[in-house]
Structure 1
């Protein structure tokens, strides 16, 4: 309970001050308390550990959750592994941090881009058409300062567009800051068009493959899903067999 209560996302989503107790929030925040939000890292850890996952690619906001998964695995192995066993009961996953640690909302660039945001224009989906991407980037929130510069604190909207361009094509510059210097003469309209073109080029192949699959043989897709589910079940059951045996639980 204490570990979960200290999770950054748990505190931030309840808008708790940093010195507040996450297990005893103010009355104004009690209505926002949700078991699903609080226990989410446990369910995430189960999904990771059940399938002997060795590496997990995550963004900056999920790194703490993955560390929780690692702690659970290490703790369980320490408690239940025997000296005669050379293999750990649970695989301790390694963290793979994405270079693009955090992509921000197009409408509120001080917030993380999220698929659950009620504003469709706040996010780019990998299924978005070229026209949809350009429309969303065209209305992205920036500022009235002339020219392009990179400062996440004072120019979050402009910096977010620079980040998008940089992370979709890191060959352009050594860093977002360097890229911003190369783009400094662009107008906001030109910057948005450049970002839209870059994003569209980056997801075009994925989008086209998705459309190809969805427009093709649906029975084959269902068969692939069923085959994957069977393989996942076999791995999960093998993990649970080891866990039950180590804990002395009959099944």
Structure 2
């Protein structure tokens, strides 16, 4: 094996191992994959009974972002914190494994879980009468999958700073808080003013507004501004994750 081929092989093997590990844990897989779809079916389709395609599409936009938050926060945050306590992070650090390969493998596993979750939500939306153009579907898929990145970086920063139990507690709070304050379950315009104000500091709010713009739903503010803010928040999250990785002793 050449020196150039070695890093690629390491990346691939680490990603495959992480996929196998995460998908063999039903306590991780079932809640993160099935919960967003169950919430979408219950609150959008079942309670509303016969929602209009426009309402179902607007709800689809938010729940797709919601589906990305769980795998990212729990896969990175809680998962990394527990691996630190078990000494696995320290072992990986002294091994030839590059740090970026470790992060990329976690991201691949989170993306796989997110893809499974949004596929179920999309199917339910189509059955509810949602009809989008091919371009809209492609943009929506790209945005929903990309929503994994900022929350994964936030989770990594948490996991490198907190204990396993602490990371689980904070991940749960961020998981639910991001959904509510970000207007992913209920449109932000229906929330109290103070919740709308706080929600603007959450990546979920800006990602949700971008998703609503893609499906043609009403949005608050300019999609271009939401895109810039979401990118800035992702950059800030990468700094949070990097400093956590560098400072953590194990």
Q: Work out whether the TM-score is over 0.5.
A: no
Shorter-chain TM-score range = under 0.3
Higher Cα Rg, which structure: 1
Higher relative contact order by CA 8 Å / sep ≥ 6: 1 or 2? Answer: 2
